[in-house]
Structure formats: structure tokens, C-alpha cells
Amino acid sequence: MFKYEFVVRKAKLQDAKELLKLFKSVSRDSKWLLSEPDEVPANLKDERAFIKNHSQKNSILIVAEHQGSIIGVLGATGGSRKRNKHVIDMGISVLDSWRGRGVGAAMMKRLFEWCLKAGIKKIKLTVMTGNESAIKFYKKLGFLSEGTLKKEFKIGRRYHDGFQMARFMCKTG
């Protein structure tokens, strides 16, 4: 069986052009992404600002790269107050042609390692209830459902519910 090789690392400002390309592709091809195609960063300046916004102590932007092309991205943004700095809200996108090949799992592994070093105790995300493959993926990684968010997403004229899911990086108590 042929194994695809890719590198998972923290994003750099030099990745702006490739990230812009990835976001445009994923927003066009995925019905599950939160952003519409016209809501992704419009230019390199905006994309660099997006990368910089993830350089806080409790935020990170992780990319998966194959032969110089960004094939996946995971963004995690931490709380801005003392009482929620230990919590991050994350989102992940992988190019359609790379889904199911371990890219998402590799980026999540890198995120978990970073969380332990950064003192992050809780990772949360929202996923559309119909996105069964993503829900299965998150459950496999130890995420639990924390509730249903009614009419959380609107696509066209139709509303969709979302599941709030979380993974704890420590024992709660």
C-alpha cells in the first residue's frame, strides 16, 4: 500500500499564499465548512493577519504540507480572559483529495501535544449534526458531545443544528 508523506508543523507567515489557496478550495468544495467562499481572507495581507492572530500563547495554527503545498490546516484560538484562557475553540480543514488519509489525525495529534505544553485543559468545537464522518472522527479522538445548538448554521434558506463537542486534556473535577 502506498503511504502519502506530509509534514505537520506550526504555520509561518510565509505560508499565507498557500493557506489562501487552501481556504478558497475548501470553502468552495465543502458543504460542512462554516465559511462561505466569499468569507475567506481576500488577500495576502488578510491571510498574514489571520496567521498572526494565532500566535498568542494560547492559540495556534497548524498546517499539513505535502511537497510545498498546504493540504490541511487546524486553527485553535484560546480564551481571552483569565477564567477561560485554558479553553481553545478549534476548526480543521483538509483538502477533499486528502481526506481519509490521516492528515486530520496527524494535525490533531500535534494539537494535543501543544495543548499539554501550553496548559490547555479543554478543546471545543462545533460540528453540523449531519456531518457524520466528522462526528465519528472526533469521537474516535475522545471528544464528547456537550449539547445540541439549535439552528446554529444557515445554508441558503435552511437552518442546521450543531453539536458542541469537547475533549478534556486533564481529569475534570
Per-residue model confidence as pLDDT tens digits over 103-138:
999 999 999 999 999 999 999 999 999 899 999 999
CA distances from 30 to 95, 111, 123, 129 (A): 9, 23, 23, 15
CB 11 within 8 A of CB 52: no
pLDDT bucket at 173, cuts 50 / 70 / 90? very low
Q: What is the pTM of this model?
A: 0.88
Residue 159 CA to residue 94 CA, distance in Å, equals: 24
Rounded to whole angstroms, how far apart are CA atoms 1 and 82? 49
Q: What is the mean pLDDT of residues 157-165?
A: 94
Contacts with 41 (C-beta within 8 Å, 6 or more apart), sequence order: 20, 23, 47, 49, 50
* 7-168 belongs to CATH 3.40.50.880: no
Nearest to 130 by CA among 158, 162, 159, 156: 162
Q: What's the mean per-residue pLDDT of the chain?
A: 88
For residue 39, pLDDT over 80 is answered with: no
pLDDT surpassing 70 at residue 171: no
Bridge partners (DSSP) of residue 91 are 75
Per the model's pLDDT, the better-predicted residue between 49 and 120 turns out to be: 120
Q: What pLDDT, on a 0 to 100 scale, did the predictor assign at position 129?
A: 93
Spans of all domains in the chain: 7-168
